[in-house]
Structures are given as structure tokens and as C-alpha cells.
Structure 1
């Protein structure tokens, strides 16, 4: 991440486990913390809403609506914002389900994330307006027929596996 200290420009910077950076020359310390991300399991009857990714990582694979948490947001606020942005759908009554570690490689940077997954059951399938830059298509898949190998991220594969088993 750093080849030189951002504070004094020394090449003497060292890292511990790729998450802590220290410069013995000036005392600079940086912790590259895990990023918070959210995903929503949206169900109706026996079907789960999945999106097909329009870009990498995982372009063309299935995903759950969600994304990164912005500064100043709660997990639930971030998920509601992401679902509104990605699907044009306003949802607020999320129920926490599980959190799982994950990695997300974007523009040659590997982000370590903690993915918080929430669920919501709808009484009817809403009209959706997918954001074309993010989503190729939206699908409602029967819970017992979801092929986990088609899900883009390991954390979400595991969350969906656990959700479908309960």
C-alpha cells in the first residue's frame, strides 16, 4: 500500500500483516481497517431477488443488492440507500441476519470487508428500475433452486446458503 511514508517520505516504512504501517523515522502509524459493506436478502413468497452484476468484480455473476457504507451512515441506512440507488425501491424495515468477512478487488486494490447481511420479506413483487451501470438484470429465484456457484462473492454465497437452510 505504501512504498514511502506519507508524512516524511522515508522509504523506511514497514507493514505488519498488510494492515498496519509504521515509519520508524517520524513515528507515522496507519491502520488499514476493514471496510463496512451491506447486502440485502429480499424475498417474496419462496423467491429471492438477485441482481446480475454489470461490472467487475464478478461481472455477469449474481449478487445481492447492497454496497459500501458511507461515512456517517448506519448499516441499515446504507442498505436502504443502496437499494434505492440500484433498484429504485424504498425499503426500511431490515432485519439483521449475519455478518461475514470478504475481500473485494477493485482497480487493483484489495479491500477487506465485513459484509453485514440483512433480510426483508415483501408481500408482493415490486416494480423495479435497475441502475444500468450497476445491474444487467434482476431475477427472482426460487430459494431451493439457487446455484451458489453463480453468486459473485464468497461471503454472500455463505449468507444465502445459511438463509436457505433455515
Structure 2
């Protein structure tokens, strides 16, 4: 572990290679060790989210975990190692909704800050969409506490847990 908080570091950081408290914060993403010359880059994590819609309704996932416990979200999650964005979409939708999704469209991406257990992660959230031909019976699973179908006119962006999701839903609203 590099630090409890990446931004605004005031405490010594221990090098993961040599173990000495000699890790220096060079930039917003780069750290180097004065003792062994190890370099660590704290790069953004990749994540996906999907706007699933039917007619004038958007499927909203209620977050079952922090950050944002109880707030609105779009189904999705982090991309696993050795996984493409598309593979992550398919896996996440299956895990969270028990829905097999094979056809979806990339829309855009947004940067985001994801605070988990006092560590601030920077993410790159890729936004996809899919218009369903019918309204399937879905079950909230994994880290989704519940699901709601929300009419376009009843969507409140401030109910969404993350700025990136708010921006994605705003884009979806403007295109529908």
C-alpha cells in the first residue's frame, strides 16, 4: 500500500519494493523511491457503466455498498485484469442483473474520483447504452441492493452517486 490517501500526502510513504519510508510523491500520479529507485505510477482504474432503457424508462441500480450506499447508479463496475471494456460490460450486467447482454453501444468516457476505505482512486468510466425491446424481469444481485425503472421525466441527476454517472445520464437524457 502506498498511502492511506494519495492526494495531499503528509506522511512518509513506504516503498513496496525495499520497504523503506523513502517513497517521494513526484506528481499527481508518480512516486519514486530514493533508496532503491523504484517507480510507482498511480494510474486511473478502468470502469464501465451501462444505460439500459425501455421506451421512456431508464434502469437505475441502487448501490448496495459504499461509496454511495443507497444512492442511484447505472449497472456496471471495474474492468478486471486481462479483460476488455466489452467483456467487462457483459460480465458486470450478468453479475448484477442476471441479464445476458451482447449488443450495446459505446457512448463516451468520463473521469471520476472513487473514494473507498479512505483511499482516493481516479477512474476512467466508459459509458455504454442499450435500448431493450422488452422490459425483462430482472433481479438485483452482487453489489446492487435494488433496481428501479425510472421514467425519463422523473430522473434527478443529484440522486446518482458519482459525477461521472450524472454526466452519463445527462448525455443519455439529451439523446432520448
* TM-score exceeds 0.5: yes
Structure 2: state its 5+ residue gaps: 4-12
In structure 1, the residue matched to 2:154 is 145
Does 1:162 find its partner at 2:166?
no
The DSSP-based 3-state class of the residue aligned with 1:127 is coil
Aligned length: 165
d(CA) in 1 for partners of 2:14 and 2:154? 50
d(CA) in 1 for partners of 2:15 and 2:70? 39
d(CA) in 2 for partners of 1:25 and 1:56? 37
Does 1:5 find its partner at 2:15?
yes
d(CA) in 2 for partners of 1:91 and 1:23? 45
In structure 1, the residue matched to 2:94 is 84
* Deviation per residue, 1:101-137 (Å, 9 max, x gap): 0011112221110000100000111111211x52222
Does 1:45 find its partner at 2:55?
yes
Structure 1: state its 5+ residue gaps: none
d(CA) in 1 for partners of 2:27 and 2:155? 36
Select 2:36's aligned residue among 16, 22, 26: 26
TM-score by length of 1: 0.94
In structure 2, the residue matched to 1:123 is 133
Does 1:134 find its partner at 2:143?
yes
Does 1:99 find its partner at 2:109?
yes
1:144 and 1:164 in contact (8 A); partners too: no
In structure 2, the residue matched to 1:64 is 74
Between 52-61 and 111-120, report the one with greater CA deviation. Answer: 52-61
Shift of the alpha carbon at 1:11? Answer: 2.1
Shift of the alpha carbon at 1:145? Answer: 2.1
